[in-house]
Amino acid sequence: MHDPHPDWVPRRRQQIGLQIREARRTAGLSQLALGERIGRDHKTVSRWENALTAPDLTDLLLIADALGVPLSDLVR
């Protein structure tokens, strides 16, 4: 299925997923532990990290808080 967004959108989604993964690993958390901290299933965290879906702004704020990083670190 073709993504209806411009080509750069999936690339940015992938980059954000990688930033989440890196910050999570730096914090020493598993996907399960991060999910528990933000009230999401570990499968959801996996889908974000693998760019299958994208976290919304609220989720990004929760992730940044749970990992102790600025929001900008996740979306740069």
Assign residue 14 the CATH number of its domain: 1.10.260.40
Residue 2, pLDDT score: 65
Report if residue 2 sits inside a domain: no
- pLDDT means per 10 residues in the chain (76 residues)? 80 96 98 98 98 96 98 94
- How many angstroms separate the CA atoms of 67 and 37, rounded? 9
Report if residue 58 sits inside a domain: yes
Give the range of the structural domain holding residue 47, as residue numbers without chain letter: 8-75
**Backbone φ/ψ region at 56: left (φ over 0), alpha (ψ -120 to 50), beta:** beta
Report if residue 43 sits inside a domain: yes
Residue 43, pLDDT score: 98
Residue with tokens 């967004």: 5
- How many angstroms separate the CA atoms of 74 and 6, rounded? 21
Report if residue 3 sits inside a domain: no
Residue 3, pLDDT score: 65
Residue 76, pLDDT score: 85
Count of helix runs (H) and strand runs (E) in the chain: 5, 0
- 10 CB neighbour count, 10 Å cutoff: 13
